[in-house]
Structures are given as structure tokens and as C-alpha cells.
Structure 1
Amino acid sequence: MSERATVPVDVVLRLAAVLEPLPECIEKDAWTGVAWQVRQATIAHVFGGEDGLIRVTFRAEPDEVEAFQHLGPQYFKADWGSNVVGMVLDEGTDWEELTELLTDSYCIQAPQNLTDQVSRPDAADATERPG
């Protein structure tokens, strides 16, 4: 069985719709699941765990990494890489928030000439959300 098969096709398609419009971002089969890269740098990696949960990892700014550790069980800091964080994907996933996080990950990993081509949400728009 392909490692890609551990991730539902609709999840891969939804992530691809967010990531692949970014300059030079390509989808690749990963050691497990699917990854998206810009040049040789990984932007996001989605995979299924033995526990049946689907997770996506991505890069975050250093000050955000610590915050992810305190946001609750949906979010986590990965055991590899100083700036690798992630979230569990389920029916409650906020895809608008995930789009922003993946765009930020791209901008962390991509060369400046490519990030200059990306429109990012204004930080003022990222204020508290009604909860």
C-alpha cells in the first residue's frame, strides 16, 4: 500500500489547492504521506498516524512555536526541527486559519524573491477571532 494512501484524497486535494498556487511550490510523495516543497525546502507535510489521526506539519516563526505548544491538543510542536509545528486535521479544522499558517510556512522557507510574490494577510486581520 502506498504511504500516500494513509491520507484521505480530499485532504491532499484541499491542501494542494492552498499550496500549489504559491510560486514554485510542488507536491511530492514523502516517506509517509505527502509533502509540498519550494525548491528543496519542505513547506508542509501531511500524514496519517497509527492512531488514525491525520496531521499536517509546517514551519512557524520562533515566537509562534512556543505558542503552539500551549494552544491545546489540536496543535503540537514536532520532535524534529526547531521551527516545525503542526495540527491535527478533523471535521473542526479551521481551513482559513490553516491557509494562513501554510502561507506563513511558505514565506519562511522560500527565497525572498518568491515570497515577494505572495500576498499575506495583514497582521491586523489576525486579531482575536470570536470563539
Structure 2
Amino acid sequence: MTDPADVPPELVARLRSLCMRLPEAYEEEAWVGTRWRIRGRTFAHVLRVASGRPPSYARAAATNDPVTVLTFRSPSPELEALSSAGHPYFRPAWGRDVVGMVLGDAVDWDEVEELLTESYCVLAPKKLVASVDRPAAAP
């Protein structure tokens, strides 16, 4: 039996391919799920919510059903836009600049790439940010 917090390996691999292309980014196991960091600061965290656990994520995502969620950092005013957009986005009760996203079947991977790159840029030193190729925003 797998742990309910186990994220499908194909999702971790897809996120890994997006996160690990960023300068000095690294991956590690989190207290639950997997996270990607820059100089000790988490810019992306993916995990499963199942049967209301972990409870803080289940409350934030407003579900007890099995779902995979991704949390990341977002700069203002994008933070407010995402926070008020509704599903698949949600606003956790922790972190002033943290946003969550339910990774469903219809996830837009170009959008995820853009969001993860921006999250990295929120936390990375300016010198590293200057070397990042940012995805073009959708028209």
C-alpha cells in the first residue's frame, strides 16, 4: 500500500524537469511530498491530500478527496489575482506570498512552468534571477 501523501512519480518527474533547470535549484524530500529549494528557501512543494490529511492542506484546498497540490510563491499583484481566481487555485493560511494549485488532469503545464519560474524569482538572489530565461506570458 502506498502512503496517501505519495505524489504520482510522473508528476514529480514533470515538476522536477521544470524546477531543476533553474540556477542552483535542488530537490529534497519534505515532511510530506517533495520540495524544490533555492539556498534553503522552498519555491515549490508538491504533495497529496487524501482523507483530509495533511489537514492544513485539506482545509486550504477545501477538499478531503485525493488530490495532488502544488504550493509556490507569487509576487503581487499576481498573488491577488491567483488567490481570487478560484479552482484550481487556493490561498493557504500560511506564508504571505504562498499560493496553492490543485494539479488535475487538465493542468496547463506552460502555466505551471511560468508560475514556478516566478516563484523561484521571488526567493532567489538577484544575480541568479538575472540569469533565468522566463517563459513568455500568454497573450
- Normalised by the length of structure 2, the TM-score is 0.83
- Separation (CA, whole Å) in 1 of partners of 2:13 and 2:3: 16
Q: Does 1:89 align with 2:103?
A: yes
Out of 116, 120, 132, the residue aligned to residue 102 of structure 1 is 116
Do 1:20 and 1:26's aligned partners in 2 also have CA atoms closer than 8 Å? yes
Q: Which residue number in structure 2 is paired with residue 16 of structure 1?
A: 16
CA shift for structure 1 position 25: 0.3
Q: Which residue number in structure 2 is paired with residue 37 of structure 1?
A: 37
Q: Secondary structure at the match of 2:69?
A: strand
Per-residue CA deviation, residues 64-117 of structure 1 (Å, 9 max, x unaligned), is: 222112212210111110000021001100000000000000111101111111
Q: Secondary structure at the match of 2:77?
A: helix
Change beyond 3 A, Cα 1:4–1:24 = farther
Change beyond 3 A, Cα 1:49–1:37 = same
Change beyond 3 A, Cα 1:81–1:48 = same
Q: Secondary structure at the match of 1:36?
A: strand
Q: Does 1:76 align with 2:103?
A: no
List alignment gaps of at least 5 residues for structure 2.
51-64
Q: How many residues align?
A: 125
Identity between Structure 1 and Structure 2 (%)? 44
Q: Which residue number in structure 2 is paired with residue 55 of structure 1?
A: 69
CA shift for structure 1 position 60: 0.3
Do 1:47 and 1:56's aligned partners in 2 also have CA atoms closer than 8 Å? yes
Residue type at the aligned position of 2:20: E
The structure 1 segments of at least 4 consecutive aligned residues displaced by more than 4 Å after TM superposition are 1-5
Do 2:82 and 2:99's aligned partners in 1 also have CA atoms closer than 8 Å? yes
- Separation (CA, whole Å) in 2 of partners of 1:3 and 1:29: 14
Do 2:69 and 2:101's aligned partners in 1 also have CA atoms closer than 8 Å? yes
List alignment gaps of at least 5 residues for structure 1.
none
Do 2:83 and 2:90's aligned partners in 1 also have CA atoms closer than 8 Å? yes
Q: Which residue number in structure 1 is paired with residue 60 of structure 2?
A: none
